[in-house]
Structure 1
Amino acid sequence: MNINNPTDTSTCESDTWECALDAAGLGVWDWDLRTGQCKYSEPWCRMLGYERRDFADDAELWLMLIHPDDRERAIHSGDLHISGKTDRIETELRLRHKDGHWVWVLDRGAVVERDQTGRPLRVVGVQTDITRQKQAERNLRRVNERFRLALAAAGMGIWHFDIDRQQSNWDARTREVFGLAPGPEDVGSTAWHGHLHPDDQERTEREHLQALTNSTEVTLRYRIIRQDGEIRHVETLAKFVPEEDSSGFLVGTIRDVTDEVSAADALLAEKERYKVTLESISDAVISTDVDGRITFCNPAAAKMLARTQTELNGAPFAEVFGAELAEAESQATVDIDGDCTVTGLKSGIFKCRRSPILSSSGELSGSVCTFQDVTEEAKRQRELAYAARHDALSGLLNRVAFDEELENAIVSADQTPFAILYIDLDHFKALNDYAGHAAGDEALRMIATGVSQNLPAGAVFARLGGDEFAILLPASNEVAAKRTADTVIEAVRSVDLRFTDVRQPLGCSIGIAIINDASVTSADALARADDACYAAKSAGRSRHSTFAENNNFLTSGLTAARRVAELTEAMDESRIKLFGQEIRSIEAPHEWSGRIEILARLQNRDGKIIPPGDFIPAAERFGMASTLDRWIINSALGKYGSIMEAADLTLGFNLSAQTLCDPQLWPFVESAIKKTGTPAARIAFEITETAAVTCFETANQFVRKARRRGCTVCLDDFGSGLSSFDYLRRFPITCIKIDGSFVENLTESRFDRAIVSSITGIAKELGLRIVAEKIEDEATVEQLRQIGVTFGQGFHLHRPEPLAKLVERRLPTSLKQSA
């Protein structure tokens, strides 16, 4: 049966088997040990609540779905069978359903194909849904446990007392309760009286007589002293049974309830402890009944409300806290627990947590509310919000806040032009190197203070990072901006550095850009000022320069700014052209693999193609790399996302350091996946070690979220950095791309072969896919095949070509129109 090819000539037979397997709750899996791919049948996917298109043919798929407690056992079962130590794979394990619950399956499989040497090549198996069976087993265990407990609880003694004969008859269990050795059932009339605890004797005998006089059942508890002297609590049920020819009998049961009494005493003590605890804690606790009346409040609650506990007990919750909070409290008892913030209770801010009180039958009987004073926490949050927009060292606005102010100013730049001053300190590195970073930090603080005191009203002053600052002058022209620039230069020069023993004063170079176009981007606007700053430094430092299109100077910064501006326009005009290069299997290097790395090319208005080396660095310098990466992802997924599954197409995207450092990157990707209908498993991301180390925590979070969603994450240029192997341990990646510098001379260099062999061995041990880059000839392919590398990329295998052309050539006829 072909579990993945709906157009197979055996469709009818396949459908019949699939229906049978589906009805039987059987999901088929087919694992190709040569390629590492594992195919899953449609019934297998439906068993877990998915469609077949939701999953890639990935051998690691089940590892992501399997319960952590079952993973090692399942892997061990497969390893034993593949190594020939068992006849087949047979394991019970749990898989995560799409809605989050666990599905129990019986996993059975066996090797169905071997090579001439007997090495396993293919394993096929089925997984049977045994969730109901497991539930039945659990229910059976519960029934058996209840039956066992019932028998233990029924271990009570039976006795009767013959009134005429004044003779008692005790069964073996009764004798055991009193600590008597096995013996005759008839005992003397004084036997029972003799074991009564002196403090309980009078009451117990009196209550027993009630059964004789009232002919009613009497239940009583009392203490006895056993034969060995141990004091025990017992419970007796007694009833008078009359007889015509005698005075009748007193019959009953007896059981040892010492443990119950101890538990009740412990419960009473526990309640007392809870009461003391609730009265001692600082959090306010209030409980209400089903009608919303307060049934309990601790001293903290009374203090919070400035009322006594007596006043609060019985008061309607709505009257005490107001209708709005009462309504929320009422809803919380019906739905789920939730938080709300309450202000105005005496003083401060309180966080309210509501939980329902349910009876043993599950019916609502009230609720409990706890109020935690979060006044200090709220204060800290305000402080954190301030810190998020301000530089910790200087107290000025940070880059994020300045960008927001800049974007706001650009909106009305057509009507109200403004100026940007980009400030770069001169000789600051020398100060750090000579006097130390502590002195440098102090100098930065003094500069921030000195410049701030000399700025016009309304100016926005920010530290962008390091020794770079920026000033936004609202409603300003070039003359006013230059005047402010002169003031800033003088303020920086006036900073007293005598505390550092540095004689050379600090200076600064300032770039000025007048923004009067609302269509300009914030990055382009800042780039203009940065470009002018480069010009000022080139002209001799400690001066300012103004950006203009017809400036006589050209610097690397200006050229880059122009390139970035062109890049921005190209994205708006869709002149960024997507190219693709295939990543092919080393075993079948000239066959279609379905895996494509996307490459970007910039097309001039005259049609000339500009290579990435001419515009990517400029994009990275001026903060456009993330925008470009997002444009590429949106464009590719928007055009091909809906057909990727049907076309067996996987697209790989390179992520720059700026993109990887963006904490909003994953929400953007998630949104693009949902909007375009792209299968997440058909998306691959390539990151470099340099990009990862730039902001490790943010990058790590992105990689983990992408992996949980099913995306492939590849570590690019592997081996080029000193910490490459360390990142295998720190990042949950799925594949590595061996840097081309180790591949291009592979056939001639023993060193390169050793490096590639070592990388391959470690990657295989970790279950990672391996891709070799920069393959230029067939000899290299053969060498990589011998080493064990599974995939390759390079001009010998496939030269980059327009992505549209590449996809069009590979699409089935039925899909070409939609593409």
Structure 2
Amino acid sequence: MLATGKDVGATAVPYPTRGLTLRFVLLTGMAIGLVGISAVIQELQAASTAWIVGQSHWSRSQQQASFALGRYINSGDPADLAEARSALAVPLGDLDARQALEQADPDLGRARRGFLQGGNAPGDINRLIFSFRYLGHLGYFRDAVRLWRQTDPGLQQLSQIAGRAAAMHARGAPPPAQRQALQDHLHALDRSLQAQAKAFSLSLLRTASIVRLTTLLVGGLSVLLITVVAVMLSRRVRRDLLEQESRFRAAFYQATVGMLKLDQAGAVLEANQAIADILDHRREVLLGMQLQDLLVDGELVLDEAGRIDWVRQLRPGELRFQRADGGLLWGRWSGTIVRTPGREPTVFAIVEDVSQNHALAREVEHQASHDPLTGLINRREIERLLEQALLDVRSHGGVHSLCYIDLDYFKLVNDGLGHAAGDQLLRNFADYLVGAVRDGDWVGRMGGDEFALFLANAGQDEAKQVLQRIVRSLGQASVQHGDGSPRVSCSVGVVEVTGEATDVNWLMSAADSACYAAKEAGRNRVHCYNESRPALDERRQEAERLASVSSAIAENRMLLYAQRIERIGDPGFLHYEVLVRMRSPEGLLQTPGEFMPAVERYGMGMALDRHVLGLLFRHLQVCPAHVQRLGLCNVNVSAQSIAEPTFLAFVCDLLERNRGLARKLCFEVTETAAISNLAQARSFIEAVKARGCRVALDDFGSGLSSFGYLRQLPADMLKIDGVFVRDMDVDPVSRAAVRAITEIGRELHMTVIAEWVESAEVAEQLQLLGVDGLQGYAIERPVALERMTQPALWPARTGAASERHPGLQ
């Protein structure tokens, strides 16, 4: 243990304790056994006393019965007869108790009643019963019980004499001869019973004597044995303590970790060679030093009185020690206070040199935050420093500039001269940037040939001047690789770091966008990100909306609405599209147009789609009557979800677990999403159709090139973009587009639905063009899905809407 550097206060030093433990166990067992034997002997003594006392009651009562019966024979006084019978009840009770215990199945209740009748104390009854049952066959006790049985005939005869005397007096005055004969019989019987009682008493006394003798013998032997074991134990303890002290001293001075023994004031009382080597002191010198001489200032913990606060000082941790040459050493420190009765407490401490661990930790930390090729900070550290800078400008104001630098034509260097030359170019360029910036600025490598440059307290105009100078002088800098290497240039994007910036991600994205603009403008130039204040506010508001959507999903504040789709020629067909609304924490209802742009911009579409599908399936599962009547339920799927295989796996799993709902569902995929992700869209459509669902192409016609993709997308339904439908009654071009889409859908055997039907006139024209379904405010406004699933609460159909169709539903 001492060689491992563990806390001595927490782990005991091992030493051979098996023999000592066995002796302790033996001594304890003997003490417990002695107590048990003493208890048993005391019970036996109490039982012996109880028998002697009971025999005394028996003998006294027998004699009293004989005397009273003799008086009754002479006088005929009934009181004497009653006294005789009362006295006789005592030995007869003992007789009855013994007979109850001698049965094959002892009657303990009868025995207790008999012993109580015999005048025995209630506390002795259980002792009498126990000793008779379990000890009645042993030694003198067995002889006493045998003598007791011999009195049974005499007691019965005594009872018979009482009966004969009572009968004799009942006939009148008995003749003297008859009374004398009965008296003689009584006297002879009394002498016989007294002799038997005396023998019974002597036997009980001998039993009691044996019990006392046994008690003395066992007690003496036990005391002797315990004394012997205690002496052996004390000798073993002394020997073990001496051996342990010898081992401890050997371990202390030979341990490979540093060890110190200190007094309460911090003076070094003992020190091993390992601590002397660690601190580069001679051991003799250490013995005259104080703990404060060994620690760096600030490491010694003092209390209010200026003394060392050992409770806090001895907490395990790492402290800085001062070496003899003035160098700093990190030591892992642990210790404990040793308290010995009659002596001042001492402190035992262990010190392990962990300076190398700290050096390795610093190296790992440096590698985690720096690029191994150029030695510049990496993207992780760049983002951390940007976060600090953003917090600083928000708290104290000011402005900084973040510059995104991309080497032009770097791929030509890698491909033409090899990766080694490319790596050397990156190192040279990194050194050039470091040499070109001021104190307080920093340079980092984003990855590849992209670098980040931070200009502290520099606005956009000042940063642009600095960067243009860098761009101009870069060609003359020593970063070339031979005569055949291409000329080095770079494109730079600049964005100001102000308190109005949304976050670090926005800063990085803005700088990247500005750098891309510089490349698009011809490379080897600087471009500043000049997004207007309204645009910045809009970005910030979008971030807030995105956070609101996340919290609404987590807090179940996304609500499902439904808008009915009327099938022309079949008004009883129940068909509707599921729409989503968001309720704010204040209870206000928000339409998709208020939050969907942020959802789509920041890639949260799939999360929202999964949540909406989950809500829809859970709602329909508890409305079996509605599902049975339902013709078709349309639900939208975003482009982000279409492009993500994990979303398709989620949908397929949902459909497999709810096969009864699959044939009632129609997934709406926007035309732009289908065209931009044609392969993924086709995979999604085929997968859901294979499970019984239908597919609609939403907002169809927004891109006229979509006509060429219809044959590659096996959809079931076309939903005409509302832009054409809304104004077709006044715009012939829109009407022609609707007619063309309707005819193509009919040729491809697709159901054609017109959206944004906002007037009766538009609805009538759509019917004339052969559209299959109508959706819009002229048909029905969106209602909560709960109302749609309860037919009795369906709203009445509205006329032409005065409110325009909300773009995204």
TM-score, length-scaled by structure 1: 0.37
Higher percent of residues as helix: 2
Q: Which has the higher contact order (CA 8 A, sep 6+)?
A: 2
Instruction: Calculate the TM-score normalised by the size of structure 2.
Output: 0.37
- Greater radius of gyration (CA): 2
Compare the two structures and name the one with the higher strand fraction: 1
